[in-house]
Structure 1
Amino acid sequence: MRPQTSRIRLTGRSVRIAPNAHSVESQCPRQFSHRPPRLLLVSHRSLPRPQLPFLYPSGAYPSNTQLSRLFSISANQKKFIKETARETVKWTLLIFFATSCFSIASLGILSERQERAFPSPHEWSLITRFRFRRGKWWQVPENNEEEGFPNWARVYDELERALKRLENADKDGAGLREQEEGGLLVPGVGKTGYDLTAKSEEWRQGYYEVLMGMATAAERLEGWVTTKSRRYIWAPEFVPSPTNPRPKATLPSQLPIPDEEYRIPAADVPETFYLKIITSNGFTTHQRMTAALGYADWLAFKKLPDSAEEMYKWALDIALSGLPIPDHSSVIDSKSHVLSSTAPKELITPNVVFAATNLATFHASQGHTTTALPILVSLLRARLAADPAPPKPLAKPQDSSLMGTVLSLLHEPEYPALPPTGDEALLRRVEDRCEEAALKSYIGEILFAVATSPSGRTQGLSWVRDAVSTAKTAQLDVPSIQSNPTLRKKCEQCEEVGLEAWGKMMTYLAAEAREKHESLESSVMKKLWWKLWPGATQKLREEVVDREGEEEGVVMRLNKLRGKMLKEEYEEMDRKYARTFVF
């Protein structure tokens, strides 16, 4: 035990503390607070309490030691960072490599599908074939998701790039040369037409498709403007011109139209490409004739009937130039353009029939019925008198097995057979029944329009009825038409035109019979007429009822057919838009 000691009592004066008596004790660091406490317990021990570095106040800024300790990395941390960086780089490279391979494979598959849908000549370079396929692909409306219709500006741009490479002697135009004789100089267009005889038939077919595609796009882009960069394009309604003095304002999201000095046409005039085909040496008769008819249709659309008629006649002359005889008077009359009934069958070619049909249709649209009717009758006679075509050979079935599919993907598809030149003899095929129905419908409409007697109108009506029956029979009885959606739709359109004409004729005849019946009943000699011929009014009344009933039946058939066609069109659109890409 601690020994007892006596308590010593000190006087108040003896216990005086100097003012700075606690200064020695205050030098002992206070590690728990920056501020001195009110009560301070001082230890009587000789040694102070152990001091720890982290209990010292660090001040306003950390020291260098603390900073170095803060950013110091241990060995385990270094190992973890290295492994993480190594794995990150590895997986990034693997993902990038897999994504690149997938993108390249997708592009290759898409390009392969485009090649099978829009075949291009194998002798073309890869870039030219790629541009050609893209130009064809953008012409499909369903492939333009933003617009919903073909983007003709994009089509023209892609085909123009392909055309420049085809006409460049250093790229795909080797062997292409200017014509020494026969070249045509067109004002505003320049010299047109090349000598293509040194190129293969596949090359010429592809070159023809490029020019026709550019002509079609140029027709849609008439009046559109762009700049030299060709990144943006403006419609005609936004372009100020003498025919459009008050143009529309562009939308806020669109760029304003540039000044006139920076504007250039978005496409060349269509005749540039049509005339290049017509005047080139090496195209087939059918290709040159088709280009001439396309140009004639464009002139007719621009309301230039005289120029259009001359171009239709030029197309007929091109078709006749493919015949093996120099004198064509034995085949067709040079003035009336009526096919001779005594012409040899081998001289009646599909080109001549097609060009003459377009010329007759143009005359009928211009109201020249007396000129168009003999041509149409002679064309129908030539089609009906043509020899029947031999049956088509069965197509080779495609190998649908897994190995066959893989081999077909690895093997480049063959270029399809070139279309006929059109200079061979005309043959009557079952697929051409709709063409015969169309000619009958045209003849019936003209006969009904120019008839001055009831017998003439009855004759025209019978022709139209026969045309509708021919088109309906072709749809139901010809297997090749039933299995081909394009031919079936064409026959449905021909039947629709015939039913519409039939309905209008019956409306006219029913109104005529009704007017005759009403005039007879309101006549002053009504009672006397009944006494002489009691069944006269009854016969007229029955005629009115029959014609009105036939009119109602035709209208019902027409509405039913149009409903069917509209349903098929919607189903086809659903099937197309359900696919990612349409070919």
Structure 2
Amino acid sequence: MQSRILLRRVLVLRPAKPTAASSTGATRFFTRHTNLSSQNRPQLPFLSVPLARRSQQFRYLTTERKRWLAYEVFLGFKYIVYTWAIGAFLLVAYYSIQQEWLERRYPSPHEWRFVTRLRFRLMRWGPDRNDTPEPNWVQIANYAKNILERLEDPNVDGAGLQDLTEGGMYIDGIGKSGYDVTAKSEPWQRGYYEVLMCCAKAAEQLDNHVLDTKRGVVFPADQVYGPSNPNPKPIPPGSPSAPHEDDCEPFYEPPETFYMRILTTRGFTSRQKMDAALEYASWLDFKGIPEASERMYEWALQLATENTLPTALPYNTETYVLEDGAAKPSANVLTSLTALAAHKARNDEISTALPILVSILRARRSLPTASPTGSSNAMTPEDTKTPWTASNILGVVKRLVAPPAYPSPPDSGEAPPVRDAKALCEEAGLNLYIGEIIYAGSKKSSSPGASAREDGLAWTRDAVDAAEEQLHKLNDDDATAGQRPDPAALRTCKDCLNTGLGNWAKMVGRLAREERERQEASGPAPKAAGWFAFWGDGEAALRAGEVGRWTAEEEVVKERTRRAQELLDELEAPRPGLASLFWA
């Protein structure tokens, strides 16, 4: 009975037909489970839970993952666009601020077109840039030439220009002469003059420069290899290789092309033509053509007295010495006569140059003194208060929004000058000229005398004292009175003081060296006795007179130079008002 019951239980538990899964011993999948709570959900393979088996296939790019990747790509592109847009806006803002600063520093005529004004500002800024080791005169010359072409093109900015003669006038070896610019406004004429002068200065700097036509690179002529220069100068490291002479042509026109165009243009003032003539004469002096240079200096003097009757000239037409009983000379006459006297002194005409310079110095000292009041830079009591006032804020807003006005025309120079700060420093410069000429003339004579050299040294000392005193006065008085020093006067005084100290040091150094040679030739000086002679040697020598006069003065010059260097390197005081908040 028990065996029968046991057999029945075994038959009930054993499956009627074995399956493949049960025969292989594998477990059932979760989706194949039959004991589910709901039988309505379809049993699809891609809805099953993935198992970590090699034979199992998975879907990595699901719908959710596609949406996430698309969002990430869109977000990346959006951030890239935002970054580039912000960078572009910052670049445009920086460029706009730079151009606004350049326009205020180097104003351009408002009637010119945008591109012309843009290149004009860059041209004027080129020589004054301090972020480059030296000015890029090739770039400056290209800017100036392009602006000149635009100003002389009637379809761009040259509408109204007229030739002096029908078909234009040409000068042998120079080219076309100037135009008639009388129909143009004064700002246009002044800007045109500045462009021509910049072209002339660039031509001086690029004299003997050639252009490699194959590569478009500019080289000095001494670096070009060819039959006329078999041993060229070495190329600086990092520069392109030297070109061949057959592939080169002159890069820029000679300076006389632009100077003569200024001198032959109708519409420029006498002061502008005189300045151009003086610059051209200086260039001819540099090139070693003294005859042509002297004729150009005489031309400049004629331009300075263009509106003066021949019978009313303040100087002698033969000796160029200013006469005592004549009328007060104009600023143009003083400038041109000083340049002519310096030219004669450089060409060993000392007997002619000295009387001219002495007469100029006498005439300058007889000029009326400038009035200390009426300075446009003086500060009012309201300016010394807090800068956060309604008038100051409104003034800053107006200056930022409104375009800067073009500056008024400069002084024509046809009236006698006054003895202001700049004129006093120019008087000190005349003392330097006279002292240097007297000292140099004594060295060239067959029997140089000590009195002549001492006279030249005395003139130089007076010049240094006058320039240093005036520079102290500019800094101290203007700071006390609450006004800004005149930049032109400061520059003139600093140049005069720096040059005077250099001349003084050279003169005294030569005299001290000769003095030491005489002492060595006369025999060794007696030494001071005592255990501590090493420390007391200097004072004992001074008391005994062993150190000569010029050696002692040489030490004085060194001390004056050290003290003056602090004055020359003195920083400008912060400006009052809201602008002082942005000064470091």
For the aligned pair, the TM-score class normalised by the smaller chain equals 0.7 to 0.9
Distance change (3 Å), C-alpha of 1:422 and 1:70: farther
Distance change (3 Å), C-alpha of 1:283 and 1:85: same
Aligned to 1:408: 399
Q: Retained in 1: the 8 A contact 2:431–2:460?
A: yes
Q: Which amino acid aligns with 2:562?
A: K
Secondary structure of the equivalent of 1:283?
coil
Give the C-alpha shift of residue 349 in structure 1.
1.0
1-side partners of 2:153 and 2:210: how far apart?
26
Q: Which amino acid aligns with 1:139?
A: P
Q: 2:562 aligns with which of 556, 560, 563?
A: 560
Give the C-alpha shift of residue 497 in structure 1.
3.8
Aligned to 2:95: 107
Q: Which amino acid aligns with 2:67?
A: K
Give the C-alpha shift of residue 557 in structure 1.
3.5
Give the C-alpha shift of residue 300 in structure 1.
1.2
Aligned to 1:339: 322
Secondary structure of the equivalent of 2:225?
coil
Q: Retained in 2: the 8 A contact 1:513–1:544?
A: no
Secondary structure of the equivalent of 2:130?
helix
RMSD value over aligned CA atoms?
4.0
Distance change (3 Å), C-alpha of 1:159 and 1:515: closer
Q: 1:377 aligns with which of 358, 361, 381?
A: 358
Give the C-alpha shift of residue 431 in structure 1.
2.2
1-side partners of 2:236 and 2:515: how far apart?
58
Aligned to 1:133: 121
**Max radius of gyration: which structure?**
1
Secondary structure of the equivalent of 1:234?
strand
Secondary structure of the equivalent of 1:494?
helix
2-side partners of 1:175 and 1:261: how far apart?
42
Q: Retained in 2: the 8 A contact 1:499–1:554?
A: no
Aligned to 1:547: 549
Secondary structure of the equivalent of 1:120?
coil
Distance change (3 Å), C-alpha of 1:383 and 1:251: closer
Q: Retained in 1: the 8 A contact 2:123–2:140?
A: yes
Distance change (3 Å), C-alpha of 1:100 and 1:458: closer
Aligned to 2:161: 176
Q: Which amino acid aligns with 1:420?
A: D
Aligned to 1:66: none
- Cα-to-partner distance string for 1:38-77 (whole Å, 9 max, x where unaligned): xxxxx99665349999xxxxxxxxxxxxxxx988954334
Aligned to 1:295: 280
Residue 163 in structure 1 maps to residue 151 in structure 2: no
Aligned to 1:536: none
Residue 469 in structure 1 maps to residue 465 in structure 2: yes
| 1:80-229 alignment runs, 5 A limit | 80-144=68-132, 148-180=133-165, 185-227=170-212
Corresponding pairs, count: 494
Percent sequence identity over aligned pairs: 36
Q: Which amino acid aligns with 1:340?
A: E
Q: Retained in 2: the 8 A contact 1:380–1:439?
A: yes
Secondary structure of the equivalent of 1:246?
coil
Q: Retained in 2: the 8 A contact 1:506–1:547?
A: no
Give the C-alpha shift of residue 226 in structure 1.
2.1
- Cα-to-partner distance string for 1:130-155 (whole Å, 9 max, x where unaligned): 011111222224132xxx11111111
Of 406-415 and 502-511, deviating more is 502-511
Distance change (3 Å), C-alpha of 1:249 and 1:70: farther
2-side partners of 1:445 and 1:248: how far apart?
36
Distance change (3 Å), C-alpha of 1:108 and 1:510: closer
Residue 280 in structure 1 maps to residue 261 in structure 2: no
- Cα-to-partner distance string for 1:411-450 (whole Å, 9 max, x where unaligned): 1011112211211223222321111112123223434555
Q: Retained in 2: the 8 A contact 1:510–1:544?
A: no
Secondary structure of the equivalent of 2:127?
coil
- Cα-to-partner distance string for 1:193-236 (whole Å, 9 max, x where unaligned): 11010111111111111111121111111222224588532233
Q: Retained in 2: the 8 A contact 1:176–1:196?
A: yes
Q: Retained in 1: the 8 A contact 2:212–2:219?
A: no
Q: Retained in 2: the 8 A contact 1:361–1:372?
A: yes
Q: Which amino acid aligns with 1:270?
A: P
| 1:225-264 alignment runs, 5 A limit | 225-227=210-212, 231-240=216-225, 244-248=229-233, 250=235, 253-264=238-249
Q: Retained in 1: the 8 A contact 2:226–2:246?
A: no
Residue 330 in structure 1 maps to residue 325 in structure 2: no
Q: Which amino acid aligns with 1:382?
A: A
Distance change (3 Å), C-alpha of 1:182 and 1:366: farther
Q: 2:377 aligns with which of 395, 398, 410?
A: 395
> What stretches of structure 2 of length at least 5 have no aligned partner?
1-5, 9-14, 30-56, 443-447, 480-484, 524-542, 574-584
Of 492-501 and 436-445, deviating more is 492-501
1-side partners of 2:134 and 2:337: how far apart?
33
Secondary structure of the equivalent of 2:317?
coil
Q: Retained in 1: the 8 A contact 2:224–2:244?
A: no
2-side partners of 1:339 and 1:183: how far apart?
40
- Cα-to-partner distance string for 1:10-58 (whole Å, 9 max, x where unaligned): xxxxxxxxxxxxxxxxxxxxxxxxxxxxxxxxx99665349999xxxxx
Q: Retained in 2: the 8 A contact 1:137–1:143?
A: no
Distance change (3 Å), C-alpha of 1:169 and 1:481: farther
2-side partners of 1:508 and 1:91: how far apart?
72
Distance change (3 Å), C-alpha of 1:106 and 1:502: closer
Give the C-alpha shift of residue 284 in structure 1.
1.1
Distance change (3 Å), C-alpha of 1:211 and 1:228: farther
Aligned to 1:356: 337
1-side partners of 2:297 and 2:312: how far apart?
18
Distance change (3 Å), C-alpha of 1:164 and 1:514: closer
Distance change (3 Å), C-alpha of 1:175 and 1:471: same
Distance change (3 Å), C-alpha of 1:445 and 1:234: closer
Of 350-359 and 460-469, deviating more is 460-469
- Cα-to-partner distance string for 1:63-109 (whole Å, 9 max, x where unaligned): xxxxxx98895433443344344444444443343333222222111
TM-score, with length taken from structure 2: 0.73
2-side partners of 1:164 and 1:264: how far apart?
21
